[in-house]
Chain A
Amino acid sequence: MFYREAGQFKQSYAADQAIFPIRQDRIGLAVILLIAFVGIPLFGNEFLLASVMVPFLILALGAIGLNLLTGYAGLLSLGTAGFMGVGAYAAYKLSTIFPEVNILVWILCSGFFAAAVGAVFGLPSSRIKGFYLAVATLAAQFFLQWCFVRWSWLYNDNASGAIEVPARTLFGIAITGPSATPVTRYLVVLTIVVVMTLIASNIVHGRIGRSWMAVRDMDIAAQLMGIRLLPVKLLAFAVSSFYCGVAGALMVFLWLGAAEPAAFDINLSFVLLFMVIIGGLGSLIGSFFGAALIHILPIAIRMLPDALGLSIGAATVEHLTFMIVGALIIFFLVVEPHGLARLWQIGKQKLRVWPFPY
């Protein structure tokens, strides 16, 4: 009843192939974008913008990157944090060597460096898959993190061993560095994430995405249909790493403000993998759901005792958060192994037949 496409006739192939063929979806998306671009910056406080929304969007972008590789192309990777680090260090080097070029250009360019590195570490995927590939990408993670620690050229020989973000502006407004306001940073991140999600959506709905899914579902059959496995797999690694690289650069420049190599440790790879699995493999909206569950939910739980006027020690809250989030993860995986994205689909289907379910 709320969600019926009856009466919406497609009169051209373009209309039929649109990303959002149903009117309700388009309206819903417009409302979400309106809230994200206007509502949240107007009414959100600094904490919501800087500590909830900016990290959420950046993690979601990283999860999209991993989802392209793991969810769509079926290639399991544990090197995500390493590729994010490549993007971050590339953006840092480029920005310090050519400070006059706008930082946004360098953040997007850094994705190409990550893509190149990702493609190189994707080479083993022509021979191995599944858990074995996960181990091979784990090697990438360790090697890249080792580089971030040992190769002092990467961090301009800073005694602190960390990369620090210089202040940069866009149209005269500070977007990185200490004087950049959370609103500016949020809007910049949001714009990049929205545009890149749109591009990702086009990729996965097109020829490339379909060939990835064919390879994921059965590589021999895909090969028989004329899909050349190695280029397709390498492309998946490259595109995925591009997204991760941009997410890593955003993470350092617009979220953290300075990063030690430890920021890109194996934990981050796991966190992103969990986001993808819980959100839904092979679903872009699932990447957002996963990032929300893993990043925003703990913050909400931490704020709960305060909001209810209970006084519980900070450490106890932290332990409780771990337990509740862990239990919820298990709960969601038991209830819906295909992730939150599938729950979303079921919800839409229910809305469609309401109030006469069958």
Chain B
Amino acid sequence: MSLKHWAYALAAATVLSLPAIPAAQAEDSIYVPLFTYRTGPFAGSGTPIADGMHDYLTMLNERDGGIGGVKLVIEECETGYDTKKGLECYESVKPKHPVMVNPWSTGITLPLIPKAAVDKIPVLSMAYGLSASAKGDIFPWVFNPPATYWDGFTQILKYIAAQEGGGVEKLKGKKIGYIFLDASFGREPLPLIESLSKELGFEAKLYPVAAADMQNQSSQWLNVRRDRPDYMILYGWGALNSTAVKEAVKTNYPMEKFISIWWPSEDDARGGGDKATGFKTLNWHAVGANFPLIADIQKYVVDKGKSQVSSKDKVGQVLYNRGVYNSMLIAEAIRTAQKVSGHKVVTGEDVRRGLEDLNIDAARYKEMGLENFAGPVKLTCADHNGHFSTFIQRWDGKQYVKVSDYITPMTDKVEPLLEADAKAYAEKNAPWPKRTEPCDKAS
């Protein structure tokens, strides 16, 4: 047989053998798939998050032998931030009975929302996805703590008001620019902006950036230069953030007055050079590696070469810690599920209850080795988001430093919108199933 024939035979053999080998999986383990994106246009943001999520759960396996004595099976599935690939990931993990999925993309979250109740797999979309899914009575299987994009917007407004030396009445007559990704994520605050600008008397200037021109924002910033807004608010992701910082520096926009939602990373700010100092973002957890738990991650995972982080100083960066926070929610939900259900090897149904009964207070943070890492998280049957406070952090040229206290959202403004939106979703997707899952007493 010639080489060519051998090649054909090999190809045929591999194709035939593909479906034959089922994934080896132990019965007494908990399967936690992680949807990550280390490739594609958003890899810059996706990689540190993936590292943080993966390393925390690996550390639990290495240090404690899993959660409650049950090993976690952690598997990454690469989505590339692409909805189609994300759904493919979902279908490929579904037969292995995952206890929850974290889509890490609003586009992937949306199709999973109706599926969650049917497949009995809870969806944890941490501070992204469908804001209305905060309503536990309509979306029993979807969770999006610790805050929605609407909450975030009102928190930024409150901070701006505080900078002006007072309450929200100080916003009157101010010009506030809003530069955002012209997709569902960035457009979500628009109805809120419309109603709030009338109510509070500020003038909103909108600068949409199409997804295709994320790296070319010169026309938007030309308009910013002309309009001279008093403050700028940024809702971006991936290359949009770094480009916005660079353009703001080029435009000589005062960076102290440029405030973003919680997604920019260190690299996004660093790209703007020294002049980017003063750039601010929202955040709800600490940065840095000075926590006993993160030291454990260093010791058990990074030092043993079980992590994919490119260098050790990446541990503790904003988005790495964001991933750690996400995995902490996963782990705590599983732990709570073990407690409320009495099972060691929990199922998706148990973890859904675990998420509803989730209660991480200061004492628990200390116990985990994450004292003062983030604010308490307590979810209930009706409230799957919590609308927790966030704070402002400032880029000082080297790292982000917390510069404000925890700011509460304007719940009175956000709540009616959420209520109306959740109801509209259920109506438009009629027949939307009624919640049949009973509430636990604790929540």
Give the chain A neighbours of B91 by CB distance below 8 A.
46-47, 50-51
The verdict on B165 contacting chain A, using a C-beta distance below 8 Å, is no
Q: Does A225 contact B (CB under 8 A)?
A: no
Q: Which of B106-114, B262-270, B285-293, B328-336 contacts A (4 or more CB under 8 A)?
A: B106-114
Q: Interface-forming stretch among A26-34, A78-86, A315-323?
A: A315-323
- Closest A residue, CB atoms, query B110: A258
Contact of B184 among A46, A162, A313 (CB under 8 A): A162
User: Which partner residue on chain A sits nearest B119 by CB separation?
Assistant: A178
In the complex, whether A18 has a CB less than 8 A from a CB of chain B is: no
B257 part of interface (Cβ distance < 8 Å): no
Q: Contacts of A178 on B, CB cut-off 8 Å?
A: 114-115, 117-119
Is the beta-carbon distance between B212 and A258 smaller than 8 angstroms?
no
Q: Is the CB of B95 within 8 A of A46?
A: yes
Other-chain contact of B428, A46, A51, A96, A303 (Cβ < 8 Å): A96
A152 to B402, CA, bound (A): 38
Given A46-B91, A159-B132, A161-B184: A260 in contact with B429 (beta carbons within 8 A) = no
Among candidates B23, B118, B132, residue contacting A179 with C-beta atoms closer than 8 Å: B118
B36 contacts across to A, CB distance below 8 A: 314-315
B130 at the interface (CB under 8 A from A): yes
Residues of chain A within 8 A (CB-CB) of B219 are none
Q: Mark A7-47, 1 if CB is under 8 A from B, else 0.
A: 00000000000000000000000000000000000000111
> When A46-B95, A306-B21, A319-B39 are in contact, do A260 and B114 touch as well, CB less than 8 Å?
no
Number of residues on chain A facing chain B (CB within 8 A): 50
Q: Is A208 an interface residue (CB 8 A)?
A: no
Complex: chain B residue closest to A313, CB-CB: B308
- Distance in angstroms from B192 CB to nearest chain A CB is 10
SS of B interface (majority) = helix
- The answer to whether A159 and B131 have CB atoms under 8 Å apart is yes
Query: How far is B18's CA from A300's CA once the two chains are assembled, in angstroms?
Result: 8
Q: How far, in whole Å, are A299 and B421 apart by their CA atoms in the complex? A: 37
A260 pairs with B83, CB closer than 8 A: yes
Say if the beta carbon of A124 comes within 8 Å of chain B.
Answer: no
> CA–CA, A51 to B92, complex, Å?
8
Q: Is the interface of A mostly helix, strand, loop or mixed?
A: helix
Given known pairs A149-B182, A178-B118, A256-B87, the reply for A45 and B111 (CB within 8 Å) is no
Binary interface profile of A, 118-152, with partner B (CB < 8 Å = 1, else 0)? 00000000000000000000000010001001000
Say yes or no: is B198 at the interface (Cβ < 8 Å to chain A). Answer: no
Shortest A27–chain B CB gap in Å is 23
Contacts of A161 in B (CB 8 A): 183-184, 187-188
A307 to chain B: closest CB distance in Å? Answer: 5
Residues in A with CB closer than 8 Å to B417 are: 159
Interface string of B298-326 (1 = CB under 8 A from A): 00000000001000000000000000000
Nearest A residue to B133 by beta-carbon distance? A160
Verify B78–A315 contact, CB threshold 8 A.
Answer: yes
B3-40 CB contacts (< 8 Å) to partner A:
14-15, 17-21, 23, 36, 38-39
- Whether, in the assembled complex, A191 has its beta carbon less than 8 Å from a beta carbon of chain B, the answer is no
Q: How far is the CA of A50 from the CA of B93 in the complex (A)?
A: 12
Is B230 on the interface with A (CB-CB < 8 A)?
A: no
Does A337 sit at the interface, judged by CB under 8 A? no
Near B by CB (< 8 A), chain A positions 93-111 give 96, 99
Among residues of B, the one whose C-beta sits closest to the C-beta of A59 is B84
Q: Is A202 part of the binding interface, using a Cβ–Cβ cutoff of 8 Å?
A: no
B140 within 8 A of A: no
Complex: chain A residue closest to B117, CB-CB: A178
Q: Which of A166, A260, A266 has the most CB of B within 10 A?
A: A260
A223 touches B (CB below 8 Å): no
Known contacts A161-B188, A164-B110, A318 near B78 by CB under 8 Å: yes
Contacts A257-B111, A258-B111, A318-B78 hold; do A47 and B212 have CB atoms under 8 A apart? Answer: no
> Are B115 and A303 closer than 8 Å at their CB atoms?
no
Task: List the A side residues contacting B405 at CB < 8 Å.
Answer: none
Q: Are A315 and B107 within 8 A (Cβ)?
A: no
In the assembled complex, the Cα of A263 lies from the Cα of B115 at a distance in Å of 19
Which of chain A's residues 318-332 have a Cβ closer than 8 Å to chain B? 318-319, 322
**Which residues between 33 and 75 of chain A lie within 8 Å of chain B, taking CB atoms?**
45-48, 50-51, 55
Q: How far is the CA of A255 from the CA of B86 in the complex (A)?
A: 12
- Cβ-neighbour of A300 out of B15, B83, B115, B118 (below 8 A): B15
- Which residue on chain A has the smallest CB distance to residue B182? A149
| Chain B window 120-134, contacts with chain A (Cβ cutoff 8 Å), 1 for yes, 0 for no | 000000000011100
Residue of B nearest to A159 (CB): B421
Residues of chain A contacted by B211 (CB below 8 angstroms) = 262, 265
How many angstroms from the CA of A318 to the CA of B86 in the assembled complex? Answer: 13
| Cα–Cα, bound, A304→B424 (Å) | 44
Q: In the bound complex, do residue A158 and residue B428 qualify as a contact, i.e. CB atoms below 8 Å apart?
A: yes
Across-interface contacts of B87 in A (CB, < 8 A):
51, 255-257
Q: How far is the CA of A309 from the CA of B24 in the complex (A)?
A: 9
User: Contact string, B139-152, partner A, CB cutoff 8 A, digits 1/0?
Assistant: 00000000000000
Which residue of A is nearest B130, CB measured?
Answer: A160
Which residue in A48, A149, A160, A300 is a CB contact (below 8 Å) of B188? A160
Instruction: Name the B residues within 8 Å of A179 (CB-CB).
Output: 118
Type the 1/0 row for A260-274, where 1 means its CB is closer than 8 Å to any CB of B: 111101100000000
In angstroms, Cα B180 to Cα A149, docked, is 13
Closest 3 CB pairs of A and B: A161-B184, A315-B38, A257-B111
Offer 24 A-B interface pairs, CB within 8 angstroms, sorted by A.
A46-B91, A50-B91, A51-B87, A55-B84, A158-B424, A161-B184, A164-B428, A166-B429, A178-B117, A255-B87, A257-B111, A259-B111, A260-B110, A262-B83, A262-B211, A263-B107, A299-B88, A300-B15, A303-B18, A307-B18, A307-B21, A314-B78, A315-B76, A318-B38
| Besides the known contacts A314-B75, A315-B38, A317-B78, 15 further A-B residue pairs in the complex with CB atoms under 8 A apart | A47-B91, A47-B95, A51-B88, A158-B425, A162-B184, A164-B110, A164-B114, A177-B114, A257-B87, A261-B183, A265-B211, A300-B15, A307-B21, A315-B36, A315-B39
